[in-house]
Homo-oligomer: A and B are copies of this chain.
Amino acid sequence: MRKPAGVQTAPLVESVRSGDPRAIARAISALEDHEPGAEGIVQELFPFTGNALLVGLTGAPGTGKSSLANRLAGHYRVQGKRVGVIAVDPTSPFTGGALLGDRIRMQQHATDDGIYIRSMATRGVLGGLARATGDAALVLDAAGKDVILIETVGVGQDEVDIVRVADVTVLLLVAGLGDDVQSFKAGVMEIADIFVINKADRGDTDRLENELKVVLGLSRRTDGWLPPVVKTVATEGLGVPELAQGVEEYWVHVQRAGLRDEKRVQRWQERLVELIRERALERVLKSGVGKEQLAGYARQIARRERDPYSVVEELLRAAGVAE
């Protein structure tokens, strides 16, 4: 593309395309850490992406997303598909590393070349987790993965952003909290293409299923899809083939309805906005103020010597971003 390849970009891009796990890891780290020239990797790999199916898995803590992602990955492996797993933990803004559980999972699959598992966590105040997740998915896509599972903890806006990278979104619920459906109704329900009631061997699964079906029956999706409810016991692998089938059926529906491109354009529009936000902030911080000066302004504001909006106005002007 238009950016000249850095010294190391070209060989790295070649190795990623051949599926080399170390090259994949290196490329994702460079993008996650925002190393100079890292964008060149995406630019070079980009023409070779768009082939993988991106499946997002989300749900509250404790719903068993990791177990289910593991089982689903195994299911696809048996079918001969190459699988990438991106485990995102936006609740981890301070640790910045992989969770113990994910490290254990990586060891389990360490001998299987057809699967690649990667953990990501928020790093620092600049955010950009959704962007980094999207970039990681592009790397795995260019590396020839057929299916990429994106697994994320929680049900807030950040998870919605992360899951929006996916082609198919699976929402996990567990019976027992009682008012799940009530709580979810407002927005997260609307992003889910498939519902999973996990841990279906315990709790009042039938009641939750009925509640869900009532709510789903009331909602109207513009794409004409009625999200199925799949019951699983992820720890035992029960219901996993049915989930994979649901994913397949949804994607067939999307393609038959001619909505595949429209959905992907919509997602790219959202990602562009996120990218602009992130890059513009970087530039302002770079040209306007260092982090130390930012602390000085924050001190003035905390003392009520200045108000936040006039400070921001001043910083934007200094960076050349005038109104």
Contacts and interface: CB of A to CB of B under 8 A. Distances in A.
Contacts of A284: 276, 280, 321
Name the prevailing secondary structure of the A interface residues: helix
Contacts of A268: 297-299, 301-302, 308
A151 interface: no
Contacts of A261: 302-303
A42 B1 contact: no
Given A46-B308, A90-B157, A281-B273, A61 B183 contact: yes
A213 B183 CA distance: 28
Given A61-B180, A186-B121, A283-B323, A157 B308 contact: no
Contacts of A43: 307, 309-310
A89 interface: yes
Contacts of A211: none
Nearest to A260: B302
Interface residues on A, range: 35 or more
A282 B182 CA distance: 34
A93 B160 contact: yes
Contact of A61 (B60, B93, B159): B60
Contacts of A90: 156-157
25 contacts: A42-B308, A62-B177, A62-B183, A90-B157, A91-B184, A92-B187, A99-B186, A121-B186, A122-B187, A125-B270, A153-B156, A176-B177, A177-B177, A265-B298, A265-B302, A267-B298, A268-B308, A269-B295, A272-B311, A276-B284, A277-B277, A277-B278, A279-B316, A283-B322, A284-B321
Given A1-B307, A273-B281, 13 more contacts: A46-B308, A60-B155, A61-B155, A91-B155, A95-B187, A99-B186, A122-B157, A156-B158, A265-B299, A268-B301, A276-B316, A280-B319, A280-B321
Interface of A: 1-3, 39, 42-43, 46-47, 49-50, 60-63, 89-95, 99, 121-122, 125-127, 129, 153-160, 174, 176-180, 182-184, 186-188, 190, 261, 264-273, 275-281, 283-285, 294-295, 297-299, 301-304, 306-313, 315-316, 319-323
